[in-house]
Amino acid sequence: MHSGPDPAALEGLVENHGFQLQPNEFNTGKILDQGVSTTWMTLYANSKSGTDIPPPYHENRVTDPAKLAAATTAYKNAMAGTPLTTDIRDVFLDSAMSDLTFAPSPDLVTANNGTGIMVQICQQCHNPSLDQTETRAKFDVTKLSTMSREEKDKAILRLGLDPTAFRRMPPPRFRGLSPSEIAIVTSALMQ
């Protein structure tokens, strides 16, 4: 009788369905808790260029102890009947946000590379692999040079919506852009 998860069985299932070669395999022994290693940077660079999904964070601990403690207290207080007034999801290290791809790579921001920011932050959801009947398929980051002015203007509008707005891009639960980063992306979309 099997009493728990079996990573080897899951790996076998994936491999038996034709996916033995993994293009951005997270090699735990070479990456986890090794800092920003060459192995991790290769995966991150692939995701930044839009060729692979973002890799997991390179460290085992991704939460800020003070933020986590505050969120835990707020949650416990809410369970006791006090209204929840803080976002208890805000527990990540500020220094980890770009490595987690919740924010763009600082070098893209420093270079005012709006197209690069869109590739890293938007392309995972807005690409040619989408079902082309989906409305989000109209904003295909790989086709910025041929995208209609109307579609670019719609993207600019959605970037500027209130962070709590339903159609805000990028969706705050996945990624975020600061006002200055939005300005960089907007400038690229104005071209």
List pLDDT tens digits, range 143-156: 999 999 999 999 99
What is the rounded average pLDDT for all residues in the chain?
93
Q: What are phi and psi of 78, to 5 degrees?
A: -65, -40
Helix (H, G, I), strand (E, B) or coil at 1: coil
List pLDDT tens digits, range 17-27: 888 887 778 89
Say how far apart CA 98 and CA 57 lie, in whole Å.
10
Residues contacting 144, CB < 8 A, separation 6+:
115, 118, 152, 188, 189
Looking at residue 184, its pLDDT comes to 98
Q: What angle do CA 135, 136, 139 make, to 5 degrees?
A: 115
Looking at residue 135, its pLDDT comes to 81
Say how far apart CA 108 and CA 136 lie, in whole Å.
24
Nearest to residue 127, comparing CAs of 185, 42, 46, 52? Answer: 52
| 141: amino acid identity, one letter | V
Q: Indicate the length of the chain as a whole number.
A: 191
16 pLDDT more than 70: yes
Least confident of 20-34, 41-55, 84-98: 20-34
173 or 106: whose pLDDT is higher? Answer: 106
Looking at residue 142, its pLDDT comes to 95
Say how far apart CA 40 and CA 24 lie, in whole Å.
10
Nearest to residue 104, comparing CAs of 183, 165, 34? Answer: 183
Rounded to an integer, the average pLDDT of 56-84 is 96
Q: How confident is the model at residue 2 (pLDDT cuts 50, 70, 90)?
A: low
86 or 78: whose pLDDT is higher? Answer: 78
